[in-house]
Amino acid sequence: RGEVARRVFSMGGATSPDGRAFTKLVKNPVFDFGDGKHSILTPTLLRNPDGTTLKENGLLRMWFSSTWFEGGTGLHTLHETTSRDGLEWSAPSETQLKNVYAPSVLKVGEQYRMWYTDVSAEPWKFRHAASRDGREWKVDEEPILVIDQQWEKSRLFYPTVLKIDGAYLMWYGSYWTGRENTTALGFAVSEDGLHWEKHPKNPVFRPDPDRPWESHYVTSQSVMRLEDGSLRMWYASRKAPPFVNKYFAINTAVWKR
pLDDT in tens, 206-232: 998 888 888 888 999 999 999 999 999
- 248 falls in which pLDDT band (50, 70, 90)? low
Provide the domain count of the chain: 1
Segment among 64-68, 100-104, 184-188, 244-248 with least mean pLDDT: 244-248
Domain extent at residue 218: 4-255
Q: Residue 254: what pLDDT?
A: 78
Beta strands in the chain (DSSP E): 14-15, 23-24, 41-45, 55-56, 59-66, 77-83, 97-98, 100-108, 111-118, 125-131, 138-139, 152-164, 167-176, 183-190, 196-198, 217-225, 231-238, 249-255
Mean pLDDT value across residues 180-194:
95
pLDDT in tens, 18-63: 999 999 999 999 999 999 999 999 999 999 999 999 999 999 999 9
Gap between the Cα atoms of 249 and 214, Å rounded: 8
DSSP secondary structure code for residue 11 in this structure: B
Segment among 26-30, 72-76, 102-106, 152-156 with least mean pLDDT: 72-76
CATH number at residue 241: 2.115.10.20
Q: Residue 27: what pLDDT?
A: 93
pLDDT of residue 73 exceeding 90, the answer is no
Phi and psi for 214 in degrees, rounded to 5?
Answer: -140, 40
Q: Residue 4: what pLDDT?
A: 67
Q: Look at the chain and count its residues.
A: 257
Q: Residue 181: what pLDDT?
A: 85
Q: Residue 150: what pLDDT?
A: 98
pLDDT of residue 242 exceeding 90, the answer is no
pLDDT of residue 241 exceeding 80, the answer is no
Gap between the Cα atoms of 133 and 63, Å rounded: 13
CB of 146 closer than 8 Å to CB of 125: yes
Q: Residue 246: what pLDDT?
A: 56
- 240 falls in which pLDDT band (50, 70, 90)? confident
3-state SS, residue 4: helix
pLDDT in tens, 101-131: 999 999 999 999 999 999 999 999 999 999 9
